[in-house]
Amino acid sequence: MADKTGIKDVPVIIIGGGACGLTLSIFLSNYGVPHVLFERHETTSYLPKAHYINQRTMEIYRQHGISDDIYKEASPQQNMCQMLWQSSLGGNGRFDKKVIASLECFGGYEGSEMHTTYKTQSPTLPCNLPLIRTEPILRRIAQERNPGNILFGHAVTEIHDDGQKVLVTVVGPSGSTTRYRSDYAVGADGGKTVGPHIGAVMEGTTRLEDKVSVHFRADLSEHWDDRTLICHFINPEGGTITYSGALVVTGPSWGRRSEEWSIHFGHRIDDPERFNEDNLVPRLRALLKMPDLQPEILHISHWIQERVLASKYQQGRLFLAGDAAHRHPPTTGLGLNTAVTDASNLAWKLAFVYRGWASPKILDTYESERRPVGRRNCDWAAFTSDNRKVLNAAIGLVPGELEANQKRFERLFEDSESGRAARAQVQRIIDSQAIEFSASDLELGYRYEHGLTLSDCSPPPETDPLGQRYTPTTRPGHRLPHVWLKSQGRTLSTHDLVGRKGKLCLITDEYGRDWISAVETLKGSLDIDSVQIEVDNGTTSSGYKDIDGSWQSVCGIENGGAILTRPDNFVVWRSIKPSGQCGKELVDAVRAILGTRRH
């Protein structure tokens, strides 16, 4: 609603309508926070990037009623469970169509140990869906849940935070100017507006590598392994893996039936050839060894690979999220996924402040929680990208040395003990790239040590230095472990206990009656639920049953203990033992966490 000056008031403004901004909008709508989103472009992204959506992101999308729409369009698990390193797709030469190595990835083959682990640790599996297909889904849902307030073709030209409100000037498609006033604004536009305004500096390495991506349409069905998500090419002519390129299934059908593909070529920053687009189709034909291929080029994009982190994520009433806060190499697929977890963290805090359930000071924990995660993910993406150099060295290919490279391939594929040893060694080294393609602990095991949690002084679980093994724990600051429960004939996850409306949830058992009483006391001043998960097969009012004892193995509390979870399914507080003060410990904890005077 506009006041007499024509300024429109709204509690929250989102600047940027990419995946991060649209996701944040959906979460705020679910939490009942009025807001408006501005995106300067008329449409969603036309680039087939950010295709891997990991387990944690799909958990969050499941919580907020988005995952089913994503899964309907995404690649089935059986079409994204394998990475290949191959010499070419076609050709009849000695070294053509050679599979050099393969690697199980992203949830793995049906029935494998990896697949079982992925299904055990989360209610969701990851999926593959490029941004050109994901963003329209997010835009539609955002518009359905916040009609008339998802404004594409609207550019933010001015921002002013006076300490009390944020004033934003917006230019619409017709050139008309409108001013908006909000309590808070979030920059999710890649760092174009809010970042420079608050003086956030992108720290790190800005020019790692020049990439050229070609999105094209072609029939490759006779040459593609149905299980493969990405094929990395290695051949004598191409030299390094980076220069030869990687081919990605892009949909809208999947596996060998995919109509569209994306190939990513790498160049040195100073290589003049990187701008020679006329050479891309001949290069593609030569790489695939398919001289008669007639690809329909849909889009060519140039981009610089970098590893940068904003020097700050917030200032006053302004926040950064997504690419505005962190940009990293595409390895491990952490860009989009880190952006979604940014949105998940910030949305519920904005909602609690808007509803008056918490002090605005809780918003200060956004940076203290999310920036360390952003740094870790930037570092990990760079680490896994650097490891590809080891893969190149394993084969010994050198760009431009065709004769020497051919001799190396001859040794690699010769039918001898030496050849078999060489191939086994290459596979062993390529197996080390599991740090990129099955990094479960990076996806699920990140934690908040400094922020909106109350420590119980327990040590964190030992982490896997290679990021493969996720260890579930209810220690404050960690993601609530997923376990399947039964209630009134329904099967549900522990992650379903919080729901999508933005509330706290107290988890105890049939011996935690004092905690349940404390929750009833708190309900007058905020939205909080309580759940009792039975430990002795008794009968509780809630009737939640631990199906196979999994909850008992991960809950980390004694009978009568309690765990308090946030709306983003992170543990904020726990009492390992039963209450000794008729539940007062919980009341005091909530007061400390939310910064409120009384409950």
The enclosing domain of 319 has a CATH number of 3.50.50.60
| Domain annotation covers residue 516 | yes
pLDDT at 269 over 80: no
pLDDT at 274 over 80: no
Domain stop point among 381, 404, 432:
381
At residue 245, the pLDDT reads 87
Provide the angle, in degrees to the nearest 10, between the axes of the packed helices 131-145 and 19-30. 30
Instruction: Give the pair of three-digit tokens for residue 199.
Output: 């003086």
Percent of the chain at pLDDT above 90? 83
pLDDT at 10 over 80: yes
Tokens 């404004």 belong to residue? 151
Domain stop point among 381, 402, 432:
381
Domain stop point among 361, 381, 401:
381
Q: What is the mean pLDDT of residues 214-236?
A: 95
Q: What is the DSSP letter of 570?
A: B
| Domain annotation covers residue 434 | no
pLDDT at 203 over 80: yes
At residue 2, the pLDDT reads 64
53's enclosing H/E stretch is strand 52-53
pLDDT at 366 over 80: yes
| Domain annotation covers residue 535 | yes
pLDDT at 14 over 50: yes
By CB atoms closer than 10 A (0-12, 13-18, 19+), residue 148 is exposed
pLDDT at 3 over 70: no
pLDDT at 123 over 60: yes
Q: What is the DSSP letter of 595?
A: T
| Domain annotation covers residue 252 | no
239 band by pLDDT with thresholds 50, 70 and 90: low
Cβ neighbours for 175, distance < 8 A, ≥ 6 positions apart: none
Per the CB < 8 A criterion, the answer to whether 341 and 22 are in contact is: no
User: How many domains in the chain?
Assistant: 2
| Domain annotation covers residue 210 | no
Using CA atoms, how far apart are residues 105 and 300, in angstroms rounded to an integer? 27
pLDDT tens-digit readout, 469-496: 999 999 999 999 999 999 988 999 999 9
pLDDT at 539 over 80: no
pLDDT at 64 over 90: yes
| Domain annotation covers residue 113 | no
| Domain annotation covers residue 58 | yes
590 band by pLDDT with thresholds 50, 70 and 90: very high
Pairing of strands 82-86, 228-233: parallel
Claim to verify: residue 366 and residue 475 sit in the same structural domain:
no
- Return the ∠ at Cα 105 (arms to 281 and 460), rounded to 5°: 130
Q: Give the residue numbers spanning the domain of 519.
A: 456-594
pLDDT at 599 over 50: no
Cβ neighbours for 148, distance < 8 A, ≥ 6 positions apart: none
9 band by pLDDT with thresholds 50, 70 and 90: very high
Identify residue 131 by its one-letter amino acid code: L
Claim to verify: residue 468 and residue 324 sit in the same structural domain:
no
| Domain annotation covers residue 228 | no
At residue 277, the pLDDT reads 80
pLDDT at 422 over 80: yes
At residue 267, the pLDDT reads 72
Per the CB < 8 A criterion, the answer to whether 387 and 435 are in contact is: yes
Model pTM? 0.95
Per the CB < 8 A criterion, the answer to whether 208 and 38 are in contact is: no
pLDDT tens-digit readout, 382-392: 999 999 888 87
Claim to verify: residue 64 and residue 178 sit in the same structural domain:
yes
Neighbour-count burial for 495-526, b at 16+ CB within 10 Å, e otherwise = bbbbebebbbbbbbbbbbbbbbebbeebeeeb
